[in-house]
């Protein structure tokens, strides 16, 4: 598996930050108003956007399955390792998102009070906790990127499928006015970074074990 160089990751991270800042300044509000005028509250989009809530029980299930396999001393294959890394990536991404939401304390585009569509509120209330201040970053986007980016690194030949799933989720969140565009970008950054970190740490661990003739997963 060919890993992406740290320099490339650094450039991608800084570029993402620039996009987030630009979106906060110029894109978030116009997009949210346009979506509200054009689509209103779309039930189908809302149902689709809620699917990442299944990622938490999925992560727990995958973890328990592989603990059972290890106890039974059954060898792990390449797909098994990818799923374990995916599981860890999702868990870490959700933990990071929970903390970042408190740090930024951002109000929502809609469906909460205060909100941009409801009363014109558009603000970051730093270190303000509570469900009304949890828009940034998007936990939905972080979860799906944490899932599919591990597979993108592990099985890059299917990158188009992963990209399509991520883009579809991002579109659903923005078109449904569940998140601002910058929230979605921020969530994607968190998910991709946790996925890349999980894979990089595993590769370093594997290389260290192989250099000493030790068994690997």
Residue 1 lies in a domain: no
Residue 91 lies in a domain: yes
**C-alpha torsion angle, residues 189, 91, 170, 40 (rounded to 10):** -130
C-alpha 164/C-alpha 2 separation (Å) is: 22
Residue 52 lies in a domain: yes
pLDDT tens digit sequence for 56-86:
566 666 666 666 666 666 666 787 788 889 9
Kindly report the pTM of this predicted structure.
0.88
Give the chain's domain count: 1
- Determine the average pLDDT of the residues in 22-33: 97
Residue 216 lies in a domain: no
Residue 112 lies in a domain: yes
Residue with tokens 């991270």: 13
pLDDT tens digit sequence for 98-108:
999 999 999 99
What CATH number does the domain containing 35 carry?
Answer: 1.20.144
| 96's tokens | 């990071």
Indicate the pLDDT class of residue 215, thresholds 50, 70 and 90: low
C-alpha 207/C-alpha 199 separation (Å) is: 12
Length of the chain: 217
Residue 217 lies in a domain: no
- Determine the average pLDDT of the residues in 19-34: 97
| 26's tokens | 């110029």
pLDDT tens digit sequence for 154-178:
999 999 999 999 999 999 999 999 9
pLDDT tens digit sequence for 107-158:
999 988 999 999 999 999 999 989 999 999 999 999 999 999 999 999 999 9
Range of the domain at 167: 6-211
3-state secondary structure of 108: strand
- Given its phi and psi angles, is residue 40 left (phi above 0), alpha (psi -120 to 50 degrees) or beta? left
Residues linked to residue 108 through DSSP beta bridges, in sequence order: 115
Residue 194 lies in a domain: yes
């Amino acid at each position: 598996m060919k890993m992406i160089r740290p320099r490339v990751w650094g450039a991608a991270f800084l570029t993402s930050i620039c996009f987030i800042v630009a979106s906060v300044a110029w894109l978030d509000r116009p997009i949210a108003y346009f979506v509200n005028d054009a689509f209103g509250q779309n039930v189908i989009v809302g149902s689709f956007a809620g699917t990442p809530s299944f990622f938490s029980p999925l992560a727990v299930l995958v973890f328990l399955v592989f603990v059972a396999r290890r106890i039974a001393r059954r060898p792990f294959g390449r797909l098994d390792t990818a799923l374990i890394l995916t599981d860890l990536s999702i868990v870490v991404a959700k933990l990071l998102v929970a903390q970042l939401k408190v740090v930024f304390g951002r109000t929502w585009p809609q469906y909460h009070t205060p909100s941009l569509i409801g009363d014109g509120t558009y603000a970051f209330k730093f270190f303000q906790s509570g469900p009304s201040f949890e828009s940034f970053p998007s936990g939905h986007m972080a979860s799906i990127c944490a899932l599919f980016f591990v597979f993108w690194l592990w099985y890059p030949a299917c990158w188009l499928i992963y990209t399509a799933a991520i883009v579809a989720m991002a579109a659903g969140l923005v078109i449904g006015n569940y998140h601002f565009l910058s929230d979605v970008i921020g969530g994607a950054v968190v998910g991709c970074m946790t996925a890349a970190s999980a894979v990089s740490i595993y590769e370093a661990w594997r290389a260290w074990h192989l250099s000493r003739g030790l068994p690997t997963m």
